[in-house]
Amino acid sequence: NDTDSKTLTRLVMTHSRDAEFVMLINALQTACKLISRSVRKAGIAGLYGHAGGQNSTGDDQKKLDVLSNDMMVNSLYNSHVCCVLVSEENDDPIIVPENMAGKYCVAFDPLDGSSNIDCNVSTGTIFSVWEKTSEGPATVADILRPGREMICAGYCCYGSATELVITYGFGVQRFTLDPSIGEFILTAYHMAIPEEPKTIYSINDGNYVTWDENMQRAVDKFKFNEPKPYTARYVGSMVADVHRTILYGGIYLYPADKKKGNGKLRILYEGFPMAMLVEKAGGAASTGLFRGEITEMLDLVPTGIHDKCPVVLGCKRDVQRVLSEYA
């Protein structure tokens, strides 16, 4: 409806009535629009290929990784509403000077699934937000907090359309970027996992031999489910795989390595935000067996900004099927 467009900014203003929070969301969506534009013209602009360095966790950086990170950092740093920024691409947290600082702590993966960039497969941006509660200048401790204390989480998916999915206390909302006006327009007010979810499992089967026997057994039961096996779908971009899981149902898994005991996905800017979105959409999010126990992902307390954890999330039916193998 062009005469009554429900934009992201309008809905956040209506629901939050918090000027600083609106400024934060504007900074986030501006960065996502910039990244979307860069992804779409990557081939023309010579942005495919490696940048030559590695990120905080040893992954090779693509040119678009570096560019996307600069866009996110600059947008949030200069918003005057953030105090701590954590990015997958930076070894250390960014502490905003007090004269420019606000009350929000933001963690983000500026371009998730960047290994897919050069073959034009969906990528995305993931973010999580905490509100500073301590007194005095901000420190890294202000963001090393449980997922339950997040006030906002979301992702932006760069696929056939650019979509932003967000939760900030009013369910999960889905917005689509209208390039003709440069605004995210509401396309789903209450995004939720279907009551009758599809039977889809999403996992990198190439890592099968690295999982413990319980996880192998759980995945085998999806493969050989009766009367009909589950369908396998795996993009290799967490944003794309989780987006499909919320829309269609099923389960997304990135299990722990049985020798190392940890997963590959980072807690602050991958595990936490996706867990919050999935739970708000009516699903469940767990670590599976991690550090000797089964834990709900949002109950974790990270000790480092790039800590990792295993991920088991999706519709409650399928998450419970996996966890029951550890009973």
Single out the catalytic residue among 109, 142, 241, 325.
109
Please give the structure tokens belonging to residue 59.
Answer: 């992954």
Where do we find the tokens 């990135």? 254
Single out the catalytic residue among 28, 47, 85, 88.
88
DSSP state of 51: E
Q: Specify which residues 46 forms β-bridges with.
A: none
Please give the structure tokens belonging to residue 281.
Answer: 């959409």
Residue 163: its H or E element? strand 162-167
DSSP state of 270: I
Single out the catalytic residue among 11, 24, 76, 111.
111
Task: Give the CA dihedral 280, 286, 287, 292, nearest 10 degrees.
Answer: 140
Residue 22: its H or E element? helix 19-40
Single out the catalytic residue among 163, 241, 270, 318.
270
Q: Is 293 a catalytic residue?
A: no
Q: Is 109 a catalytic residue?
A: yes
Single out the catalytic residue among 24, 47, 64, 65.
65
Q: Is 70 a catalytic residue?
A: no
Q: Is 91 a catalytic residue?
A: no
Please give the structure tokens belonging to residue 255.
Answer: 């299990």
Largest CA distance in the chain: 63
| CA 190, 195, 199, 204 torsion-angle sign | positive
| CA 15, 21, 25, 26 torsion-angle sign | positive
Q: Is 65 a catalytic residue?
A: yes
> How many Cα atoms occupy the beta-carbon half-sphere of 113 within 13 Å?
25
Residue 266: its H or E element? strand 265-266
Where do we find the tokens 């950092």? 73
Q: Is 59 a catalytic residue?
A: yes
Single out the catalytic residue among 47, 76, 85, 112.
112
Dist CA 186 CA 11 (whole Å): 9
Single out the catalytic residue among 64, 67, 89, 268.
89
Single out the catalytic residue among 20, 59, 70, 131.
59
C-beta of residue 321 within 8 angstroms of C-beta of residue 200: no
Write out the catalytic residue numbers.
59, 65, 88-89, 109, 111-112, 270
